[in-house]
Amino acid sequence: MKRLWIENGIFVTMDDNRPVLKGHMVVEGDTILYLSEEAPDPLPEGAERINGQGLVFMPGLVNTHGHAAMSLLRGYSDDQSLQVWLEQKMWPMEAKFTDDDARWGTSLAVAEMLKSGTTSFVDMYDRMHIVAEVVEQSGIRGVLTRGVIGLCPPDVQTSKLNEAKQFVRDWNGQAEGRITAMLSPHAPYTCPPDYIARIVEAAHELDVPLHTHMSESAAEVAQNVKDYGCRPVEHLDKLGFFTRPSLLAHAVHLNDEEIALLAERGAAVSHNPVSNLKLASGIARVPDLLKAGITVSLGTDSAASNNNLDLFDEVRLSALIHKGISGDPTAIPAWEALKMATTYGAKAIWQEKRLGMLKEGMKADFIALNVEQPHFYPQTDMVSHLVYSGSGRDVLHVWIDGKQVVKNGECLLLDEARIRHEAQQCFERLLSS
């Protein structure tokens, strides 16, 4: 089995027992075999040796909410109200999407994510078999789900749900296990209650988790109360949503009772601070969520509302914004913010036993950042530097399942020049058609 021996690196492990260590890591196949300050003894025979000097190694980041193909709409509509953005800009363009657009938009997003250190991503969209193919090709890890909007006749609802279920059957566990699948009602305000109940039932049948947008804006919470007589958390709870492992995107507008109920039900949250600010949705109560014991992970949302997929941006903003809002400079310390993108991210996608930490026995999903740059000096607290000074652009190398997928900042399994070219062509065609 292929072996990799990293010598003399700094390892930010995300393991509370030894957060940072300077030393050696050995990978065998897709697994971390050894991690220690001491050189391995005996030295691993026939291993590819990597000089870790000047590099910081850490677990690959986990992006727990997004819509990759929408990268095609990056910068197409900014600084607009949510309604104009969505109804006048996004939806009409998305309605014109073809398989080609899905392929190149997703490829563009995956290239951006890999190069900036994201090794696992959640994707909710349609044409998911195309997303799965891009995952297969690129070497990234994907938690994929066909998001369904239920504002349509019953037969269309059924056909969408069948498509979502078929995707799970076809792709769950594929790409050497790098693909896992979920089911997703798009949101409580875009799916009638009985449709949500049917999706929950299907998730039981297929034994997969659930993902949805929830309480992103104050307006949708008010609408939920008006339509169903309760707020979204209670509404979803009544529909049995939380009887499945579940991941909630946004969760900006929650009251204390909702937070307590989510904690009790064990639901995880994907905090999307940049998107929530950009669309003026508000700021999630992350310190309260964490205090309640809820798993809070980080997501970029799509490049159409962010407008980038660099998860380091979300980490930094998470560490900064909750201090400023609460008036407490100790809120969300650097270590906690970095956990949201790694160990908590892994937990939010139910893979904390194999992802999110550099530790013997874990999957070899890890990244290396070039810290021989002024913004990482003096080399004092590397965790602080990664959070407050680091960027996806500092990532030089990326390995997933022990296999290198980014080397010196370039994707090894994707043709980046072609992706840029095709994405540009797709956008221009969408614009003019």
Q: How far is the CB of 284 from its own copies (least distance, A)?
A: 10
- Tell how far CA 256 is from the center of its chain: 26
In the region spanning residues 44 to 73, those forming contacts with its own copies, defined by CB under 8 A, are 71-72
Q: Which of 132, 114, 115 is nearest to 123 (CA)?
A: 132
Q: How large is the greatest C-alpha to C-alpha distance in the chain, in angstroms?
A: 68
| Subset of residues 191 to 230 that bind its own copies, contact rule: CB under 8 A | none
Shortest distance (Å) from residue 321 CB to its own copies: 6
Q: Please report, for residues 64, 119, 160, 199, 416, the alpha-carbon distance to residue 211 in angstroms, rounded to integers and kept in the order given.
A: 10, 19, 16, 11, 30
Q: Which amino acid is at 147?
A: G
Quick one: 81 or 162, whose CB is closer to its own copies? 81
Minimum Å gap between C-beta 182 and its own copies is 25
Q: Which of 204, 429 has the CB closer to its own copies?
A: 429
Separation CA 387–CA 107 (nearest Å):
27
Smallest distance, its own copies to C-beta of residue 103, A? 14
- 24 scored as a contact of its own copies (CB under 8 A): no
Nearer to its own copies by C-beta: 76 or 228? 76
211 is in an annotated binding site: no
Site string for its own copies, 143-172 (x = CB under 8 A): ------------------------------
Nearer to its own copies, 239 or 383 (CB): 383
* Site of tokens 């069948």: 162
Candidate segments 56-64, 166-174, 221-229, 416-424, binder of its own copies by CB under 8 A: 416-424
* Cα–Cα distance, 405 to 77 (Å, whole number): 32
Among residue numbers 253 through 272, which ones bind its own copies (CB under 8 A)? Answer: none
Closest approach of Cβ 141 to its own copies, in Å? 18
- Shortest reach from residue 348's CB to its own copies, in Å: 22
- How many CB atoms lie under 10 A from the CB of residue 13? 23
Choosing from 88, 159, 166, 424, the residue that interacts with its own copies (CB under 8 A) is 424
CB of 70 to its own copies, least distance (A): 12
Q: Strand 268-271 relative to strand 296-298: parallel, antiparallel, unpaired?
A: parallel
Task: Kindly state the smallest distance separating residue 330's Cβ from its own copies, in Å.
Answer: 5
- Whole-angstrom Cα distance, residue 41 to residue 44? 8
Of 347, 346, 322, the residue nearest 334 (C-alpha): 322
Question: Which member of 26, 108, 202, 400 binds its own copies (CB under 8 A)?
Answer: 108
Structure tokens at 66: 């997004």
d(CA 196, CA 379): 51
Which residue lies nearer to its own copies by CB, 174 or 326? Answer: 326
Which residue do the tokens 């994201």 mark? 118
Residue 109 or 364 having the CB closest to its own copies: 109
In the numeric block, the tokens 């080397």 are attached to: 407
In whole angstroms, give the CA distance from residue 238 to residue 233.
Answer: 9
Interaction between residue 96 and its own copies (CB under 8 A): no
Q: Which of residues 314-373 bind its own copies (CB under 8 A)?
A: 316-317, 319-321, 323-324, 326-331, 333-334, 372-373
Strand partners, 124: 145
**Long-range Cβ pairs for the range 84-91 (8 Å, 24+):** 85/279, 85/305, 90/304
426 contacts its own copies (rule: CB under 8 A) = yes
Instruction: Name the amino acid, one letter, at 186.
Output: H
By beta-carbon proximity to its own copies, the closer residue of 108 and 340 is 108
Name the residue nearer to its own copies (CB basis): 30 or 336.
336
Residue 277 as a binder of its own copies (CB under 8 A): the answer is: yes
Q: Which helix (H) or strand (E) holds 138?
A: helix 128-138
Q: Which of residues 375, 407, 415, 418 is near its own copies by CB under 8 A?
A: 375
Token pair belonging to 215: 């309480």
Angle between helices 99-115 and 416-432 (to 10 degrees): 140
Q: For its own copies, which is the closer residue by CB, 224 or 281?
A: 281
Binding site members: 65, 67, 94, 146, 186, 213, 216, 301
